């Protein structure tokens, strides 16, 4: 599975200490050079900068070799490059949180999910406890609409109440 990531999902997963589950969920993750630079920005939390200073072996940093897409100039450089790279490489999934970037990616028929989708997928596979992880996430600068969080928690509770059978 080819997964391209923008900075925000990685930023928050690193803050939560949940980044180690990414290779189990997706294998390798590719980020464009602009995203790597965003994760090393002086205003980025120290733990994120330290992570990016010695990136894990499952993270690939790739330069975007195509000309800039002028229809993406309203997005930041990381979002622009992530969308461009996802299109160029025909990615299976783009990890992106920002609303404008998601909208652009969807208009280009790119499959997207954000940090919430990653966390829900990880909880479904038993990698983390969703309620406690969401509680920690919401103590950061991450914003999620209350109804979205409520729906995720309801799905998680239903999944735990009615676990899938294994055919026995």
* pLDDT digits 0-9 by tens, 108-165: 999 999 999 999 999 999 999 999 999 999 999 999 999 999 999 999 999 999 876 6
Segment 89-96 mean pLDDT: 97
Q: Name the architecture of domain 3-116.
A: 3-Layer(aba) Sandwich (3.40)
Q: What is the pLDDT of residue 168?
A: 47
pLDDT at 166 over 90: no
The model's pTM is: 0.92
Smallest Cα–Cα separation from 10: which of 104, 38, 27? 38
Tell me how far apart the alpha carbons of residues 149 and 97 are, in angstroms, rounded to a whole number.
14
Q: How far apart are CA 134 and CA 48, in angstroms?
A: 19
Quote the CA–CA distance of 160 and 162 in Å, as a whole number: 6
Per-residue pLDDT, 56: 97
d(CA 29, CA 134): 23
pLDDT given at position 147: 95
Mean pLDDT, range 31-60, rounded to an integer: 97
């Amino acid at each position: 599975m080819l997964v391209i990531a923008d900075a925000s999902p990685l930023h928050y997963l690193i803050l939560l200490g949940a980044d180690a589950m990414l290779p189990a969920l997706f294998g390798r993750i590719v980020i464009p050079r602009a995203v790597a630079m965003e994760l090393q920005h002086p205003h980025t939390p120290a733990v994120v900068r330290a992570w990016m200073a010695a990136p894990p072996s499952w993270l690939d940093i790739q330069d975007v070799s195509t000309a800039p897409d002028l229809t993406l100039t309203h997005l930041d450089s990381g979002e622009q490059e992530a969308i461009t790279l996802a299109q160029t490489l025909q990615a299976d999934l783009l990890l992106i949180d920002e609303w404008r970037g998601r909208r652009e990616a969807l208009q280009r028929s790119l499959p997207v999910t954000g940090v919430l989708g990653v966390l829900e997928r990880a909880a479904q596979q038993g990698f983390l406890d969703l309620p406690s992880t969401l509680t920690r996430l919401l103590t950061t600068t991450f914003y999620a609409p209350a109804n979205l969080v409520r729906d995720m928690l309801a799905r998680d509770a239903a999944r735990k109440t009615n676990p899938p059978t294994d055919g026995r």
